A and B are shown apart, each in its own frame.
Chain A
Amino acid sequence: KQEVTQIPAALSVPEGENLVLNCSFTDSAIYNLQWFRQDPGKGLTSLLLIQSSQREQTSGRLNASLDKSSGRSTLYIAASQPGDSATYLCAVSDGGSQGNLIFGKGTKLSVKP
């Protein structure tokens, strides 16, 4: 059974720092991996989608990498801002499934001004 783990569970950094959020998954047979942002009491906002054949995706200050063979992904946030404060969730789409996502518990990020 696929399991997704995110480390750390919580992270607090000063504004302007570059940071890395980690995601690992137990079964490397994934179809794609998606990073989401969730603000308190809100739904999920998709940040980046990486197909299994890709190594990384970039959007603005965000860069996500995927190493499928080792079961790892990282989300790099450059020059963090207080507005980046949120919970970041990693999810994988199992290649044998109907496309449903399997989520980690998230990393709660706080960027202090």
Chain B
Amino acid sequence: GAGVSQTPSNKVTEKGKYVELRCDPISGHTALYWYRQSLGQGPEFLIYFQGTGAADDSGLPNDRFFAVRPEGSVSTLKIQRTERGDSAVYLCASSPGGGRSPYEQYFGPGTRLTVT
């Protein structure tokens, strides 16, 4: 079956602009996670959805970052007033169950965001 997909694969934007990054999880997966990976680093957690609600958004760096998952499937990560420091690969992962579940997380290919 289809894996996690993310669009766009690459996004170049100017400092100060608004961007939206999309994630399509594996069908039926209730848990969805967003991570951010800077060059030479491991991914860092941003936000976790269980169904439609954000169960944990403690990893969002500031209030310029926001994410939604209105129907419990597709999620959109939104970044306002982008800064050069936001440049990174944004990864999405889904899982059949979040929290204390025995399931693996399955990752998408990521969106490479470059802020000029």
Interface residue ranges, A against B (CB under 8 Å): 4, 31-32, 34, 36, 41-46, 49, 51, 89, 91, 95, 97-106
Since A43-B107, A43-B109, A102-B45 are in contact, a sample of 19 more A-B pairs with Cβ atoms closer than 8 Å, ordered by chain A residue number, is A4-B42, A41-B112, A44-B91, A44-B107, A46-B105, A49-B102, A89-B42, A91-B43, A98-B55, A98-B56, A98-B98, A99-B31, A100-B33, A100-B59, A101-B105, A103-B42, A103-B43, A103-B44, A106-B42
B42 touches A105 (CB 8 A): yes
User: Any chain A CB within 8 A of the CB of B99?
Assistant: yes
Instruction: Return the 6 tightest CB-CB contacts between A and B, nearest first.
Output: A103-B42, A44-B107, A100-B45, A98-B56, A43-B109, A99-B98
Rounded to whole angstroms, the CA-CA distance of A98 and B33 in the bound complex is 10
Which B residues from 15 to 70 make CB contacts under 8 A with A?
Answer: 31, 33, 35, 40-45, 48, 50, 55-56, 59
Q: Once the chains bind, are B43 and A44 in contact (CB under 8 Å)?
A: yes
Q: Is the CB of A104 within 8 A of B42?
A: yes
Q: How many A-B contacts at CB < 8 Å in the complex?
A: 68
Closest to B105 in A: A101
* B104: Cβ under 8 A from any A Cβ: yes
Question: What are the residues of chain A within 8 A of B107 when measuring CB–CB?
Answer: 36, 43-46
Residue contact B48 to A99, C-beta cutoff 8 Å:
yes
User: Roughly how many angstroms separate A49 CA and B101 CA in the complex, as a whole number?
Assistant: 12
